[in-house]
A and B are shown apart, each in its own frame.
Chain A
Amino acid sequence: MLLEIKNVFKQVTEPSGEIITVSHAEHLMLDKGGQMLLTGPSGSGKTTLLHMIAGLLSPSGGEIYFDGVRIDNMPEKERDLWRARNIGYVFQKLNLIEALTAEENILLAGYFAGGNMAELKKRAAMLLERVGLANKKDTLPGKLSIGEQQRIAVVRAVINKPVLLLADEPTASLDAENSRIVLGLLRGLCSENGTALILSTHDESVKEQFDEWFDIKGGRFITHEHH
């Protein structure tokens, strides 16, 4: 078992003083190398749950275990290191550093994880070739199309061969063609590296490609019936 979530929830206080629960997951498990689709309408708490799993947001309650180690109450410094070594993240918004080139954005994740720069550069070149953007490695994100930026974000997320890749609506701002490319890339790269994947979406066409998904609103797994 790679990931186990036990009754994790996040509450926020509204300006009116009312406390509301923005995300709740009763029980959720993911095996090493497994792939999971997280579904639910906008505002159902998918992003919040992914942030809590990545240690970017502290849950209001519950427990999160990663490879048997509880991570939700880890000290901040320790959690930063844990995240750098284990987690890859593809954001809903593109979130590339605008001042850095495509290649530098990719290498940045490796640098923070303390990787060997020469090896990282080699791997980045290979991955850029793979996503068809080898000739854009020195281009700033602002000069890339949305689809190209998302492919760079995927490469950045897998550069360290993470144990778990979290992809938050990675196809939300893409057209059908780019959506298919990015999704294929994510799943392919994860399979090759033995990386587990949690992919959140509200896109019905994405659901079509998975056998099973976890519906956050209903708090249960739903098995897809192929037509």
Chain B
Amino acid sequence: MSIIKIVRRNIMFKPLQSLVACCVVMASIAMAVLVLLLADGVHSGLTAAAEPFPIVAGSKGSPNQLVLNTVFLKDTPMSNISYTEVEKLRANKNVAMAVPFGYGDNYRGFRMAGTEKEIFNYVINPQRGKWLQINEGRAFEAPFEAVLGARMAAMTGLKVGDTFKTSHGMVEIPGSKGHAQEYKVVGILKPVNGPYDQSILTDIKSIWAAHAGHGAAVQGVTGVLIKPAGYAQALAVLSQYRNNKEMQVVFPSQTIIELFSVMGDAEKVLQIISYAVILLSLIIIAFTTYWAAAMRRHDNAVMRAIGAGQKAIIKINFLQGMLLSCIGTAAGAALGHGAFAALAYLLREKTAVNLTAGFTLQEGIMIAVVVAAAAVFSFIPAAAACRRQAADDL
């Protein structure tokens, strides 16, 4: 016989009641955790996806569309700029590297990104190392050779040596006539944990050749990835192109921040919801622990009558309340992370954007507050039980 055994017996004796108490706590914590993770994960996921693109250049128009095109491989490609602009950028002393990207074709919905071999030497920063690394095969050397993103290769089953034909446009339209040229898979990339996992990289000359008969601008590019020579040089590039009538230069991370500031109200609403959910979970925990303690009032009186001291009664009630609350909280946190992982998976399947959110400080504080509240809510009825005259509850 021990306090733990009494607590365990009490919990197991009314499994449904214990389960309901746990589930109520679990559901509210899971909801709060999910809201917190989403608020954090969407922001960091988009920012991480933009990391390989310090600056992008493209034709004048919506900066959001340019970022969606180049960073996220989404939306209709903007009109092209001339390849000579890439050469001009390369000659710019503020630019360390300029790599063109041309979009416009797809294979089974996966975007072709025409670029140049130099992209395989692109180093994001010394810590991250090379952005695109070959996992299998080699980089493309000639037109109509293709290097597949890791996820794209896994999803389509294409292997090095296989050939495929692309279609014009961003999505495959059943029955539509594709390009006549055949691409040969020469390499597969290591995962980059971003949208380019779902891309097909090829020499931009392939795209030009494929569109030679479509009346598209010859030797045009949709966007240019610019690696500035340094922070001051990045600002200089931005300044040089500020008044350019043909081209725009944007910082994708800045665009994302602006996007988030436009959505600021939505984020605030999300934050208010998460606080409301946390408050609700505290109320629920208070209610469930009080309810459980009220149900034990008679047993407490019996135990006191047969010799249990106040300490023992407080221990039993406190442990029981804490155990149910902690199990519910742990299960809720796990469920919240599980639901977030499922949502992140769905989003990754669709966009290859990785929603990354681990155990945040905010979540840690929330769990600590909930556990502390559960401790208080468990202690109050336990102490109250001892203040009552045992005879009143017999």
**Chain A positions near chain B (C-beta within 8 angstroms):** 48, 51, 54, 56-58, 76-77, 80-81, 83-85, 87, 89, 91, 93, 95-100, 104, 107-113, 117, 140, 156-157, 160
B307 engages A83 (CB within 8 Å): yes
- Provided the pairs A56-B304, A77-B310 are in contact, do residues A108 and B391 lie with their beta carbons within 8 angstroms? no
- Provided the pairs A97-B299, A97-B302 are in contact, do residues A112 and B391 lie with their beta carbons within 8 angstroms? no
A89 engages B305 (CB within 8 Å): yes
What residue of chain B has the Cβ atom nearest to residue A109's Cβ? B306
Per a CB cutoff under 8 Å, which of B1, B9, B309 touches A99?
B9
Per a CB cutoff under 8 Å, which of A91, A97, A99, A108 touches B394?
A91
What residue of chain B has the Cβ atom nearest to residue A86's Cβ? B307
With both chains docked as a complex, state the minimum distance between the C-beta of B3 and any C-beta of chain A, in angstroms. Answer: 9
* Distance of A108 Cα from B6 Cα, bound (Å): 9
B308 engages A156 (CB within 8 Å): no
B309 engages A112 (CB within 8 Å): yes
Residue B10 interfacial (CB < 8 Å)? yes
Q: Which residues of B contact A83 (CB under 8 A)?
A: 305, 307
Residue B389 interfacial (CB < 8 Å)? yes
B394 engages A93 (CB within 8 Å): yes
Q: Which residues of B contact A110 (CB under 8 A)?
A: 1
B303 engages A112 (CB within 8 Å): yes
Q: Which residues of B contact A96 (CB under 8 A)?
A: 302
Contact with A along B283-325 (1 / 0, CB 8 A): 0000000000000001101111111111010000000000000
Q: Name 13 A/B residue pairs within 8 A (Cβ), A-sorted.
A: A54-B305, A56-B304, A56-B391, A56-B394, A57-B391, A80-B304, A80-B308, A83-B305, A84-B307, A85-B307, A95-B305, A96-B302, A112-B303
* Distance of A110 Cα from B303 Cα, bound (Å): 11
A104 engages B9 (CB within 8 Å): yes
B9 engages A112 (CB within 8 Å): no
Q: Which residues of B contact A156 (CB under 8 A)?
A: 306
* Distance of A83 Cα from B306 Cα, bound (Å): 8
What residue of chain B has the Cβ atom nearest to residue A82's Cβ? B307
Does more than half of chain B's interface fall in helix, strand or loop, or is it mixed? helix
**Chain B positions near chain A (C-beta within 8 angstroms):** 1-2, 5-6, 9-10, 12-14, 298-299, 301-310, 312, 386, 389-392, 394
* Distance of A120 Cα from B308 Cα, bound (Å): 16
With both chains docked as a complex, state the minimum distance between the C-beta of B271 and any C-beta of chain A, in angstroms. Answer: 43
* Distance of A110 Cα from B312 Cα, bound (Å): 13
* Distance of A78 Cα from B268 Cα, bound (Å): 56
What residue of chain B has the Cβ atom nearest to residue A88's Cβ? B306
* Distance of A80 Cα from B308 Cα, bound (Å): 7
Q: Which residues of A contact B12 (CB under 8 A)?
A: 99
* Distance of A83 Cα from B312 Cα, bound (Å): 14
B394 engages A80 (CB within 8 Å): no
- Provided the pairs A56-B391, A99-B9 are in contact, do residues A104 and B307 lie with their beta carbons within 8 angstroms? no
A108 engages B303 (CB within 8 Å): yes
- Provided the pairs A99-B10, A100-B9, A117-B1 are in contact, do residues A109 and B307 lie with their beta carbons within 8 angstroms? yes
* Distance of A16 Cα from B6 Cα, bound (Å): 42
Q: Which residues of A contact B13 (CB under 8 A)?
A: 98-99, 140
With both chains docked as a complex, state the minimum distance between the C-beta of B7 and any C-beta of chain A, in angstroms. Answer: 10
Q: Which residues of A contact B307 (CB under 8 A)?
A: 80, 83-85, 87, 109, 112-113, 160
* Distance of A56 Cα from B306 Cα, bound (Å): 10
* Distance of A112 Cα from B308 Cα, bound (Å): 5
Taking A57-B391, A99-B14 as given, write out 17 further A-B residue pairs in contact, using a Cβ cutoff of 8 Å, ordered by the A residue number. Answer: A51-B391, A51-B394, A56-B390, A57-B389, A80-B307, A84-B308, A84-B309, A95-B394, A98-B13, A99-B12, A104-B5, A104-B9, A107-B1, A108-B6, A111-B1, A117-B1, A157-B306
* Distance of A187 Cα from B308 Cα, bound (Å): 25
What residue of chain B has the Cβ atom nearest to residue A54's Cβ? B305
A81 engages B302 (CB within 8 Å): no
What residue of chain B has the Cβ atom nearest to residue A87's Cβ? B307
With both chains docked as a complex, state the minimum distance between the C-beta of A47 and any C-beta of chain B, in angstroms. Answer: 8
* Distance of A82 Cα from B246 Cα, bound (Å): 94
Per a CB cutoff under 8 Å, which of A48, A56, A81, A107 touches B305?
A56
